Amino acid sequence: MLSHVSVTPVRTRCDLRQFLKLPWRLYRGNPLWTPPLLLEQKRLLNRRKHPFHQHADVEYFLARQGGDVVGRIAAIVNHQYVHFHQEATGFFGFFESVNDQRVAAALLNTAEQWVSSHGMQRICGPMNFSTNEECGMLIDGFQYPPTIMMPYNLPYAQRLLESTNYVKAKDLLAYALDNPTPPERLVRGVTSLQQRRDITIRPINVKRFHDDVALILDVYNSAWERNWGFIPLTPAEINDLARQLWWIGHPSFCLLAETKGEPVGFALALPDYNQALRRLNGRLLPFGLLKLLWYRRRITTARVLTLGLKPGFRGMGIDAMLYLHLWQEAPKQGYSLVECSWILEDNWPMRRGLERMGARLYKTYRIYEKALS
């Protein structure tokens, strides 16, 4: 006889510890999974410490079966999203489940009921917590490890969602650039275009870090305003993100495009610290930090995680200028592969531009949705 599945909210420190540690059991022995830093995960989930919670309501749930924790989920109402899109959509995230349809259905049903009780008419996910953080479910490219700030899941997760009446909302794509030398014709063409357009590409100024972060926020919120799923970053969120990225980023990988002194675009790439984090098992102490410092010297991949242009400056080749700059910089830092992710499946100008540069599509992630009665 099958054991009953119960789903209850996280209320105690023990509950939170079980919520955080469940992936270690589900992915045991999987060499591709990257254990997240537990300290950072705790801060992300902390309603008092992470700025996302200033404009959102979140509840965490655990599924138990026969006394064992077998799944987890977060139910999310992001008031910033509701206000910006004028759309009663809630979200689910941090979804993990054993390969059991009953467990997945119980978790998803609980999240649906919770967001519905907060006035939402649709649920979307997975989002951890929004498109500004980790989002999407891997559906193709399981043979490749996830890069920094990208999710990973087991193949059966797709079936669990689709068997619970979730349907595709949007696919997110990851491209790989693994040619260390850009074609000379591309370099000449972009250089000529940059001169004709009077565009300057410069790295972030570490001496004026906070001033440049403010410029990036302005470009970011303008560049993605009409994109699917976009939610503006608040000043508190971008400052929090900047503090996190400060110690792992590199000035030459954070670029601003300017014309006549006006910022019109920016791009951000990061070393793929997942290659080092896989050695830490989620802990910085007591020796994790030393391991991180050691293994970061062996990182061979960088990820371009965001690139955008203000309206009115698209179709001018500025995106190619930014990509080329990052492409040329990567080998200097010891990176033989650059992942460009994620890109909306229907962002054809960006996709075609990357494909003309020789990039290949190698991973697909999916956001699901479901109407709520």
Q: Give the tens place of pLDDT for each residue, 96-121.
A: 999 999 999 999 999 999 999 999 99
Bin 272: left if φ > 0, else alpha if -120 < ψ < 50, else beta: beta
Calpha distance 266→278 (Å, rounded): 30
Q: What is the percent of the chain with per-residue pLDDT over 90, rounded to a whole number?
A: 56
Contacts 24+ apart (CB under 8 A), 197-200: 197/259, 197/316, 197/317, 197/318, 198/259, 198/260, 199/257, 199/258, 199/259, 199/264, 199/316, 199/318, 199/321, 200/257, 200/258, 200/259
Q: What is the percent of the chain with per-residue pLDDT over 70, rounded to a whole number?
A: 99
**What letter would DSSP give residue 143?**
T
Cross-strand bridge partners of residue 140: 364
295 within 8 A of 277, measured Cβ to Cβ: no
Q: Mean of the pLDDT values across residues 268-273? A: 91
pLDDT surpassing 80 at residue 243: no
Bin 254: left if φ > 0, else alpha if -120 < ψ < 50, else beta: beta
Least-confidence region, from 160-174, 238-252, 287-301: 238-252
Residue type (1 letter), 74: A
Token pair recorded at residue 258: 């300017």
Instruction: Count CB neighbours of 252 within 10 A.
Output: 17
Q: For the chain, how long is the longest CA-to-CA vector?
A: 73
* Average pLDDT in the chain: 90
| CB-based burial, 289-320: b 16+ in 10 Å, e otherwise | eebbeebeeebebbbbbbbbbbeebbebbbbb
pLDDT surpassing 60 at residue 1: no
Model pLDDT for residues 115-155, shown as the tens digit of each residue: 999 999 999 999 999 998 999 999 999 999 999 999 999 99
Write down the pTM of the prediction.
Answer: 0.93
Least-confidence region, from 38-47, 80-89, 195-204: 195-204
Calpha distance 105→276 (Å, rounded): 35
Backbone φ and ψ of 173, nearest 5° = -115, 150
Residue type (1 letter), 236: A
Calpha distance 63→74 (Å, rounded): 11
> In 3D, which of 65, 59, 63 has the Cα closest to residue 77?
59
CA dihedral 103, 109, 110, 116 (to 10 degrees): 170
Calpha distance 319→317 (Å, rounded): 5
CA 147 vs CA 152, 175, 273: distances in Å: 9, 12, 8
Calpha distance 370→358 (Å, rounded): 36
Q: Mean of the pLDDT values across residues 326-355? A: 90
262: which residues sit within 8 A by CB, 6+ positions away? none
Host H or E run for residue 264 = strand 262-271
**What letter would DSSP give residue 51?**
G
99 within 8 A of 156, measured Cβ to Cβ: yes
pLDDT surpassing 70 at residue 299: yes
